[in-house]
Chain A
Amino acid sequence: MRNIFVIAKNTLKLEVRDKILYGIIIFGLLYIFFTLFLSDLVLQELPMVKSFGLTGIFFFNAIIALFLGTTSFFKDVDRKVVYFILSKPVSRAQFVLGKFFGLCLVLLFASVILSVAYIGLILYEHGGFDALGLLAIAMQFLEMALFLAFAIFVSTFSSSLLSIVYTSGVFFLGHVVSTLLAAAKQIGLGGIKLMLVEILYYIFPNLEKFDARDLAIHAVAMPFTSFALAVAYAGVYIIILLSAAIWIFDKKEI
């Protein structure tokens, strides 16, 4: 068990030395800074500033998660660094879990930096502490963890490039699928076609539930049941993805 922690800590240490990660974080900070200008010139309204800020954090975190999830695990295996690790008393499951938690920590690191900038922005613009904004960021983090788990899962059988394609595709579908179902019902789709859409809706990771941005911008608190269900959903889905990843990785010839 301790091995998971060791690998996680090591992943964090290494990724944090990656220049690309810093590049993305700096872009994120620039974006938040830019929102400050935008708010004085055009946006003016606080809900609009919040919407730009929170969406920016979401977007940049997604980029970071995509980048980390599709490269970190794959590189370790492809470049055979794992030879050193798996020849020691470390199970393949421990390695997968260690990578996952390590990458979550890296994402947390980036999130905290961007969140502090965002909270500072709102404080400066309005003088209030955007607690709901923090909740939205926390929900986003949960979504990103799910995203990371999926990326790692895909990394066990695809190269980096394909992983990026699959993971982006799932991210897109995950957000679109509830609107798709609503649209299908709206235009009166019936029978088998509707059932297919419904199956897609239930099986695919349904990511809209982690969107607390809308609520934060309009100062509406999230009901506790929704929050609890979203956390449970993320937890179960992550377990599924990581278990599948471990299962595949166990059998992989390296």
Chain B
Amino acid sequence: MVEFSHLTKAYKKRVVVDDFTLSVDVPIFGFLGQNGAGKTTIMKIIVGLLAPTSGTITIDGSLATHPIFKKKIGYMPETPYFYERMTGMEFLRFCDELFEGGGNATAHYDALLKKVGIYGARDYEIRTYSKGMRQRLGFAQALVNDPEYLFLDEPLDGLDPIGRREMKEVMLDLKKEGRRIFLNTHILYDVEEICDEVGIIHQGKLLYAGSVKEFCAGKPLEERFVEVVEEREKQTP
């Protein structure tokens, strides 16, 4: 279970995350919002890339800032950037070595690469990879330490329709294995398809959190989403 408690992130002039409070206890949770809503910031705070201005995040009872937490998670940044001159396999191995006590056999990495579908390109330099291949590699490195929790920022961005299908299958497999997935997206269709619950974020605030069906209440998701956002806009001075 992941709990956000009054999480706030403010820069000098803007508040990017505003008193964010939420409890999540489902296999796949989606953060849905427009670009710039604060989704990426929230995820960066969870994985420790940014420090919150105030508020806490607890995971299974302990604070997310505790170092032990990082061993249990996998993270995939939005638009992943790699060391271009490494091969896919080298990069994966490097990521694994950063978990003290890593150093798995090559078979482990082979399996991962096959799972995400870039096994054939594993010995080519990343600079030769297409956008889709980079996304897949990003996904693979998030899984390299066999994590309990996965935090994926726009994981399907840049994938072609078949790629999107494949990765969604992977996510559902991971759900079956008992892992928990948090994903950021602005694609409504994906939310409908695989998320158990959704959190609607707008301008750093949580507008709704809960089951997708309940949120939709019979209407198309897109319509409901626009409704909620516009209502919010009216309220803000």
Chain A positions near chain B (C-beta within 8 angstroms): 2-3, 6-7, 10, 13-14, 17-18, 79-81, 83-90, 253-254
A89 and B100 in contact (CB under 8 A), knowing A14-B85, A83-B81, A84-B80?
yes
Pick the residue among B70, B82, B90 that contacts A87 (CB under 8 A).
B70
User: Of all chain A residues, which has the CB nearest B144?
Assistant: A88
Give the bracket for the number of chain B residues in contact with chain A: 20 to 34
**How many angstroms from the CA of A253 to the CA of B81 in the assembled complex?**
17
Query: Nearest Cβ in chain B — how far from A76, in angstroms?
Result: 8
**In the complex, B83 has a CB within 8 A of chain A:** yes
Binding site for A on B (CB under 8 A): 47-50, 67, 70-71, 73, 75, 77, 80-83, 85-86, 90, 94-95, 97-100, 141, 145
The residue from A2, A14, A83, A87 contacting B86, defined by CB atoms under 8 A apart: A14
Query: Is B81 a contact partner of A88 (Cβ separation < 8 A)?
Result: no
CA distance A219 to B82 in the complex (A): 49
A14-B86, A83-B49 known; A89 and B99 CB under 8 Å?
yes
Are the CB atoms of A253 and B50 closer together than 8 Å?
yes
Q: Beyond A253-B50, A254-B49, A254-B50, is A85–B81 a contact (Cβ under 8 Å)?
A: no
A80 with B81, Cβ < 8 A, contacts A87-B47, A89-B70, A253-B50 known = yes
A86 with B141, Cβ < 8 A, contacts A10-B94, A81-B82 known: no
A sample of 18 cross-chain residue pairs with beta-carbon separation below 8 angstroms, ordered by A number, consists of A2-B100, A6-B94, A6-B98, A14-B85, A14-B86, A18-B85, A80-B77, A81-B81, A83-B77, A83-B80, A86-B48, A86-B49, A87-B70, A88-B95, A89-B70, A89-B99, A90-B98, A254-B50
Within the complex, what minimum Cβ distance (angstroms) separates A83 from chain B? 4
Chain B residues whose CB sits within 8 angstroms of the CB of A10 once the complex forms = 83, 94
Smallest beta-carbon distance A102→chain B, Å = 12
Q: Are A3 and B100 in contact (CB under 8 A)?
A: yes
Give the chain A neighbours of B100 by CB distance below 8 A: 2-3, 89
Residues of A within 8 A of B75 (CB): 83-84, 87
Chain A residue nearest to B11 in the complex (CB): A253
Tell me how far the C-beta of B147 lies from the nearest C-beta in chain A, rounded to whole angstroms.
10
- Residues of chain A within 8 A (CB-CB) of B81 are 79-81, 83
- Across the interface, do A87 and B85 meet the contact criterion of CB distance under 8 Å? no
Contact pick for A89, options B50, B67, B80, CB 8 Å: B67
Q: Is the CB of B98 within 8 A of A85?
A: yes
Nearest chain B CB to A19 CB, angstrom units:
10
Which B residue sits closest to A90, measured CB to CB? Answer: B98
Decide if B85 touches A89 in the complex (CB within 8 Å). no
